[in-house]
Amino acid sequence: MKSLSLRRLRNTKFSELFKKLALEKNLSDLEYKKLLSLAIIFINEKDENIFKLGYRIIVFYSNQTKDYRPLYDISMNKGLYPVVKSIEKIDNYSKKIEESFFKLFNASFGENYKEGNIYLSEQQTDLYSFFQTKEKESVSVIAPTSYGKSELIISTLKQNQNRNTCIVVPTKALIAQTKKRIIEANISNIKKIITHPEMFLTTDEDITVVLTQERLLRLLRKERELKFDTVFVDEAHNLLESNERSILLATAISILKKRNENVKFKFLTPFLVDSNNLLVRYAEYKTEAYKVNEYIKTERLYIYDHRKEKKLKLYDQFLNEFYYDDVSTFTDEIDLIIKKSKRKNIIYLNKPADIQKFSLSFSNRLSYVLNDEIQRAVQNISSLLDPDYSLIHCLKKGFIYHHGSVPDNLRLYIENLYSELEELRYIVTSSTLLEGVNIPAVTLYLLDNKKGKPNLSPSQFKNLIGRICRFNELFSPSDGDLKNLEPTIYLVGSNFTSSNANLDNFIKNCMRVDKTEADNVTNVLLEQVEITSENHQQKEDADEFIENFEPGVIEDYDKSYAQTEIGKLCFINNITEIDIISNEKQMQKILDLNRNVKLNSSNEVFEYFYRIFLPFVKSADKYNNLRRLSYVESRNFYKMFLDWRIRSASYREMISSFLRYWKRIETEREETDIYVGKWGDKTKNGFRELWTDIKTKSHKERVNLAIVRIKEEQDFLDNIFIKYIEVLNDLELLQTEFYERIKYGTSDKNKITLIKNGLSLTVSNLLMNKYRAYLDIDTNLNNIIINPSIIKEMESNNENDILIYEVVYNTKIKETK
């Protein structure tokens, strides 16, 4: 007899019956019996997808009828103990479960999977066991979001005494989140968590570092002898891509392996087909993979295309069919969101500008939800930034927005607000949420199906889905709900969706369960990528950088090495915007003619950049931000911005300065167009919409434009321009105190130590000015200890909650004796 497959099943009448269950229609007892009988057959089939369909039927049935006996049985048999224990906690439900020796035995057996206050599934337990037994080997762990990959890091840190451990994360937000988890774990052998390259001292031993790949390379550049015993690569699927950051990650892995042949890599990712795709060309290692294939959550995927048919339909990823819901009608996408929303909801958009446009429209359709906590949050944000900040209006309407141009400390604060306050039901966000940021949500709305210019990849789409109905919410003792075994996702065709986007094809491509999956591997530094005429130059550039940064990584390397002082420094400071080998002699010649100085002003810094580096910046569009500095107006703007940084200007000061600057442009210039990057609505000189006419903007619009531009210009200085300042400093062209003010906004050693430990300059100034007695600062060891009573003191002084939360979030607070 032929085994059952989805392909065979699709050619039967099964879909007619399943459709009624999927759309939650009323079924007769006979129809339910038929479906349960089929489910029993399905879960005993060898085909994994047929089994999952059987489980899906049982989840749908149990949640619709509140008869959880079938779900209890299959969960018990398959080791889904969190589901088992959730069912047992349902009021009086244990009485409905047949009391027999085997039932009691199984229920007791489930207690073996209890870890603290939570229950683990069988594969979660197996994963932890696998990880412990492979402690001294390189491994890759492929497990969905909320399977406890972070706990693997914590357990390793608890065991890793007398070892150097590095945790590489893709974003600054994840640095803060990972550091917070380590702090909360209270690991006795960890004395200092290094999150900035400058925190490290050569006397440090048994270190734990949490860094992005860029910060890691800066640390490796600063400490030429530093090596690690264990390296975690979080969100490791990013390694597969061909962008600059992915190549830098592969570069860092190559260097770490060269420095320590015995280093063990631990790759953590929610999605990967073949772990061999994680092998880097110049790092000899093999990874043993553990892949979780448990099926606990079964997604409900809806499409509502307001651009076209304006009907809600359910896509079933098993039968590859669409089922129309003829009952639901909506006036537009916002009406859909409001009517279908649950306790906590994520709304995804691709562009930050679209997030703010949508948020304005969305807020106009919601009622005020003011209470004391929200009122206090409104006051906090108003005093730190400006009362006209749009986020404040959104808070009053019960939601927040979240993207890369929101100030870092404010993002942490509002994420916490959203998590803690039930009145805040929505978060409107971009792909910043893809990289492991954990917030509670049970429903996801996608108003765009892109990330950047291309569509979301299947793995990115699934990663977004993994952000809702996380296990700690699904199985929460207080408000867990088995209905959340069915995460609900709405893919919405809206004004923010590309006009040619085919949502039906997109969702089939991403979610059809029997579609052959393959990793899209394009990083030229990975072994599995074939080098062709198209990617050859990228590979040559990557090799050149690696060997000039860390000679000896590539065996038999026979290409160029930098010959000049400035060329060598450009390589070790990760200058990628210039073809260094071709231009180093010219740069050195210019440098030699302008050498006998000590730069002490922002004007001098930009003039030296203009003379030495700018003529050689590559012409590709992605370097436009740097090439804009060829215009005197752009240099004047950045001189002003750097001066604010040097004198430690607050956000409110900078906002006021932006407003005055724009007012001056409006009154003194005939042309009032200003460059605003992705916030632009006007083209100029053949470029995209990167400009706006400032005279057409209201005061409130200018305030919001100032806030996002300040964040983006800070990022430009911190991530791009600072590399050139580091080269100038390495050339001993900068006065020491001036360099520190550029880098940290202060030359005060105590404040610098606070900043190195993750605190913002604003908080560092506040703590040093008013709370010095609560701080134990060791500038020699770059370490701090904070007396916990500081929090009550700050609260009694009515300090801004955003600043208080930053202190709690970023620092290890110890009781004083």
Distance in angstroms (rounded) separating the CA atoms of residues 413 and 593: 50
Residues 6 or more apart from 767 whose CB is under 8 A from it? 754, 759, 774, 775, 790, 807
For residue 241, what are the CA distances in angstroms to 165, 249, 426, 521? 25, 10, 31, 6
Q: How far apart are CA 737 and CA 748, in angstroms?
A: 9
Q: Tell me what pLDDT residue 43 has.
A: 95
Question: What pLDDT sits at residue 815?
Answer: 46
State the first-to-last Cα distance of the chain, in angstroms, to the nearest integer.
75
What is residue 147's three-state secondary structure?
coil
**Which DSSP string corresponds to 331-387?**
SSHHHHHHHH--SSEEEE-S-HHHHHHHHHHHHTTS-----HHHHHHHHHHHHHS-T
Amino acid at 538: Q
Q: What residues contact residue 298 under an 8 Å CB cut-off, 6+ apart?
A: 52, 55, 56, 59, 60, 485, 486
Cβ contact 399:371 at 8 Å: no
Q: In angstroms, rounded to a whole number, what is the distance separating the alpha carbons of residues 19 and 22? A: 5
Burial of 127 (0-12, 13-18, 19+ CB in 10 A): buried
> Which 3 state secondary structure label does DSSP give 318?
coil
Q: What is the predicted pLDDT for the residue at 813?
A: 59
pLDDT score at 716 = 92
Q: What is the pLDDT of residue 816?
A: 42
Point out the residues of the chain with pLDDT beneath 50: 1, 101, 815-817
Torsion of CA 537, 538, 543, 546, to 10 degrees: 150
Domain range annotation of the chain: 6-119, 122-291, 298-349+430-518, 352-424, 530-561, 563-741, 748-810
Contact 707, 385 (CB under 8 A): yes
- pLDDT score, position 651: 92
**Rounded Cα–Cα distance for residues 677 and 690 (Å):** 4
Q: What's the pLDDT at 110?
A: 62
**Euclidean distance between CA atoms 741 and 762, whole angstroms:** 14
Spatial CA neighbour of 779 closest among 758, 753, 754: 753
Q: Specify which residues 419 forms β-bridges with.
A: none
CB 488 within 8 A of CB 315: no
CATH class of 122-291: alpha beta
Beta strand 300-305 pairing with 312-316: antiparallel
* CA-CA-CA-CA torsion sign (492, 494, 498, 504): positive
For residue 49, give every residue at least 6 positions away whose Cβ sits within 8 Å of its Cβ, in sequence order, or none.
5, 6, 318, 513, 514
Q: Give, in order, the Cα–Cα distances in Å from 454 to each of 17, 244, 432, 458, 519.
A: 37, 17, 16, 12, 16
What does the pLDDT read at residue 817?
A: 39
CA distance 347 to 327: 23
The residues, any chain, with a CB within 8 Å of residue 10's CB and separated by 6 or more, are 319, 320, 321
pTM: 0.94
Residues 732, 745: contact at Cβ < 8 Å? no
C-alpha distances in Å from residue 370, one per residue of 335, 341, 391, 420, 479: 22, 19, 14, 15, 23
CA distance 520 to 445: 26
pLDDT in tens, 627-659: 989 999 889 989 998 999 898 899 999 999 999
How confident is the model at residue 373, as a pLDDT? Answer: 95
Helix (H) or strand (E) holding 429, with range, is strand 426-429
pLDDT at 289: 95
Backbone angles phi, psi at 622, to 5 degrees: -70, -10
